Structure 1
């Protein structure tokens, strides 16, 4: 058996192993084969691995010293499919990102300061730079604290994440189609690339209230099929090509808030509705509320001052998430976004993988 050192961590509302790049095969095919076996991909329960049987718990973070002078560490996010023996490294994951800073400090990649250590992280999937503020009293990472985030039980130490250059992370443009609004399959949509490529849709235009539970949306097969058709056409319009085998762009239903927030969202990953909301998704949604003529902007426009509000509260199935936006003049593309997350170390040790998987790598 191959023994792969790893730290199983909860990052925000996601969970997965965080691994040093040097502890994985350098060959990409062999690396991916190890990760598939490690997580138990190809079975709905991932029963033969440490995956959790859901997209939010079938994630891997690979960390290494940064090769860029602009960052401390590099972070490659790997989405391991649950029912398929396939991985996707096209998107970023902001929730797992909150586990990268503590891991990097504890592994000696970054020297801790008292009482807070800022770790500059370069996401290799998108090229995005993120400053992570980690609580390090007396130079030791602290996971304990009073911060609660919706979608995760209990409280923990806060992890501040500031996304520095998220516009056009995959397509090179904030609005890849060149428009704040397009029409696909007779439905008005906004195609946006801010931290995560997404296609934003008013829930009402698809016959939904926007308050449905993830299970209700996932169980409506005709709706899911129509959503996928829109997503694939949006992907092509955004210059992403055939996205049938990709997890981007993410489709998102938006609606008026019901619990005092700015806007309500149902975020898809893309074939299941997220039980809360991806961090990268929240940044794109919040930014879209500031873009005149976008689907999001039209929903929040009736609220006084909403379009210029720097703090956006997004309601999701698990509660709310707040995104602070710092605009650089009138250039939306240079907007910086900050969110608060938490993380927790769950297990540290070796995960065992059958050695024969290396010979099966394609």
Structure 2
């Protein structure tokens, strides 16, 4: 069978990489998209290396973004996100990706989807997955997105131009509620034990569990954490139960088919720790220690939406994150220690008569176009269904 080529851009956004497609270049019949994405990324690889595609063998490098001009006047572009898995055929569109959101604004400007004038621009992005708006503000260089700058991201070599992302009203994007159960903490039963957790939906739904309840210290690096099979099994059981409790899935089987959400975060008090680059993080250099599991794998940094949800949870009285951070003075941003370093995230949360509301959450990222041209897919004719 012949290969077919589709125009594409390959970009880094934050600590992730993805293939970026124009909506106009994909088949009108969207049920054809998953097979195209699987072929392009090289997913469903029993070896998990994705050598036959553009993916990189881990969840943060197995992503696809589809961009199009917005039809409404409130936003400039629509952003559809698809999470793929190195070892399976699952193409999950239930969640958003905050890291790749950093690439959407520069892509829109450089591809001519947004008109610019001056040395800065704010691109208003509608994330179709969650129905929420993201404001992406960054510098321009001769009408194109600025690439060079002094911002260093933990987990990314070198530095780049800062991109400020503001997620407007991030609460309830997947479940309709900031606290899906209405409570800051709940108990979930797994096959082996009961765990106290906090379930929060901001940016993406997350379930938080204490490291000590899993027999962990909390500062384990990903490769070490991967060896704790009992803890990982317990975390997946917690995730599946949380998916049902949060209303994401109707039952455990359905939850298994939605690997992207909820994300699960292991939280603990700060302690001296070492990063993947062998740098030391001091006990007082952060407000919270966090390890996150993404699509079944220990994340090597922190997903942006996970960081946003953590910052929001820190400001909701009674959550596990709030309990761990309330003894520390957090005025503006919360400092989250993760395997690649420390990330600062800000969130505005208010308590009203009907409960807690998240007005916004923000973080700085960098992005870079790595390659553009065509990606080849060895699947059914991608032009099928085109007008």
Give the TM-score normalised by structure 2.
0.89
C-alpha offsets along residues 128-184 of structure 1, whole Å, 9 cap, x if unaligned?
Answer: 100001211332221111111111110011111000121001000000011000011
Residue in structure 2 matched with residue 175 of structure 1 by the alignment: 179
Does structure 1 conserve the Cα–Cα contact (< 8 Å) formed by 2:6 and 2:25?
Answer: yes
Question: CA 1:232 to 1:357, structure 2 compared with 1: closer, same or farther past 3 Å?
Answer: farther
Residue in structure 2 matched with residue 325 of structure 1 by the alignment: 347
Q: Distance in 2 between matches of 1:214 and 1:26?
A: 40
Residue in structure 2 matched with residue 217 of structure 1 by the alignment: 225
Alpha-carbon distance, 1:285 to partner: 0.4
Residue in structure 2 matched with residue 244 of structure 1 by the alignment: 256
Alignment of 1:15-34 (within 5 A): 15-34=17-36
Q: Distance in 1 between matches of 2:288 and 2:27?
A: 44
1:353 aligns with one of 371, 377, 380: 377
Residue in structure 1 matched with residue 279 of structure 2 by the alignment: none
Does structure 2 conserve the Cα–Cα contact (< 8 Å) formed by 1:37 and 1:357?
Answer: no
Q: Distance in 2 between matches of 1:218 and 1:60?
A: 25
Does structure 1 conserve the Cα–Cα contact (< 8 Å) formed by 2:132 and 2:169?
Answer: yes
Which runs of 5 or more residues in structure 2 are unaligned? 272-281
C-alpha offsets along residues 245-278 of structure 1, whole Å, 9 cap, x if unaligned?
Answer: 1121111100111232111110111311100000
Q: Distance in 2 between matches of 1:36 and 1:270?
A: 16
Question: CA 1:332 to 1:178, structure 2 compared with 1: closer, same or farther past 3 Å?
Answer: closer
Alpha-carbon distance, 1:243 to partner: 1.1
Alpha-carbon distance, 1:221 to partner: 1.2
Matched, 1:73 2:74: no
Alignment of 1:1-362 (within 5 A): 1-43=3-45, 44-185=48-189, 186-241=194-249, 242-246=254-258, 247-258=260-271, 259=282, 260-303=285-328, 305-306=329-330, 309-327=331-349, 332-356=356-380
Which runs of 5 or more residues in structure 1 are unaligned? none
Number of paired residues? 358
Q: Distance in 1 between matches of 2:182 and 2:140?
A: 44
Range with greater deviation from structure 2 (41-50 or 189-198): 41-50
Q: Distance in 1 between matches of 2:95 and 2:162?
A: 24
Question: CA 1:223 to 1:359, structure 2 compared with 1: closer, same or farther past 3 Å?
Answer: farther
Does structure 1 conserve the Cα–Cα contact (< 8 Å) formed by 2:345 and 2:362?
Answer: yes
Does structure 2 conserve the Cα–Cα contact (< 8 Å) formed by 1:263 and 1:314?
Answer: yes
Q: Distance in 2 between matches of 1:129 and 1:66?
A: 12
Q: Distance in 2 between matches of 1:46 and 1:214?
A: 20
Alpha-carbon distance, 1:328 to partner: 5.3
C-alpha offsets along residues 53-78 of structure 1, whole Å, 9 cap, x if unaligned?
Answer: 11111111110001232110000011
C-alpha offsets along residues 6-65 of structure 1, whole Å, 9 cap, x if unaligned?
Answer: 111010000011110111112122111111111111111111111111111111111000
Does structure 1 conserve the Cα–Cα contact (< 8 Å) formed by 2:35 and 2:379?
Answer: no
Does structure 1 conserve the Cα–Cα contact (< 8 Å) formed by 2:118 and 2:140?
Answer: yes
Residue in structure 1 matched with residue 276 of structure 2 by the alignment: none
SS at match of 2:145: coil
Does structure 1 conserve the Cα–Cα contact (< 8 Å) formed by 2:201 and 2:309?
Answer: yes
